[in-house]
Amino acid sequence: MFGMYWQGFFLGAAMILPLGPQNAYVMNQGIRRQYHLMIALLCALSDVILICAGIFGGSALLSQSSLLLSLITWGGVAFLLWYGWGAFSVVFKRQLDVVSVDIARQSRWRVIATVLAVTWLNPHVYLDTFVVQGSIGGQMAPDARSWFALGSITASFLWFFALALLASWLAPWLNTPKAQRVINAFVGVIMWSIALQLAHSGMQ
């Protein structure tokens, strides 16, 4: 059974490591030291729901409903374009300092709403958890499936908290006007690149 655990752990790590909207938001909030541990927990708990749903039957639902997949895809495209525009607006501000509106402390509920949107409106999350992990874990025996899911969940918790804490630790070097412009430009490019990829796949 421990073999299934480590298989789930390494597959979960491989799915979560590439930089996407969710990781970029966790990193940004970690740099700002704004509810970064709460955000890491929300991302990890969301992964618990998605991983379990995918492994224990959700992959079949997504593969059978082209309408649902289409709604998830185009909703994600719209959100990523909007979020990317917000990042680019920081880059092109004439004057930017560490106490600007964009970097100032946001309300707890706005942060919660944003992290849930970044997570649940990202079609890649469903492809990773439902299609990839779900198709692999769904073929296992019930006991092995539980260990596989636990391994993936462990990887998620370790990654999000490590990312949030590392970004917070590096905040004195990264929370400067110049660094914020570079980071937001990088985030904007990532968001729009993923949006274009999703739009391309959605039109096929």
Residues in the chain: 204
Contacts of residue 132, Cβ cutoff 8 Å, sequence gap at least 6: 11, 15
Output the pTM of the full model: 0.72
* 145 or 40: which leads in pLDDT: 40
CA atoms within a 13 Å half-sphere pointing along the CA-CB vector of 76: 30
The answer to whether residues 26 and 160 touch, using CB atoms and an 8 Å cutoff, is yes
Per-residue pLDDT reduced to its tens digit, 63-112: 566 676 677 667 767 777 877 787 788 777 766 544 443 444 567 888 89
Q: Using CB atoms within 10 A of its CB, is residue 120 exposed (0-12), middle (13-18) or buried (19+)?
A: middle
Return the pLDDT at 123.
Answer: 75
Q: How far is CA 115 from the centre of its chain?
A: 8
The answer to whether residues 192 and 80 touch, using CB atoms and an 8 Å cutoff, is yes
Using left for φ > 0, alpha for ψ between -120 and 50, and beta otherwise, residue 118 falls in alpha
Contacts of residue 174, Cβ cutoff 8 Å, sequence gap at least 6: 31, 167, 180, 183
The answer to whether residues 118 and 21 touch, using CB atoms and an 8 Å cutoff, is yes
Instruction: Tokens for 50, please give them.
Output: 């998605």
- Mean pLDDT of all residues belonging to the chain: 79
Using left for φ > 0, alpha for ψ between -120 and 50, and beta otherwise, residue 33 falls in left
Residue where the block lists tokens 């990829």: 197
Per-residue pLDDT reduced to its tens digit, 134-152: 767 766 787 888 899 999 9
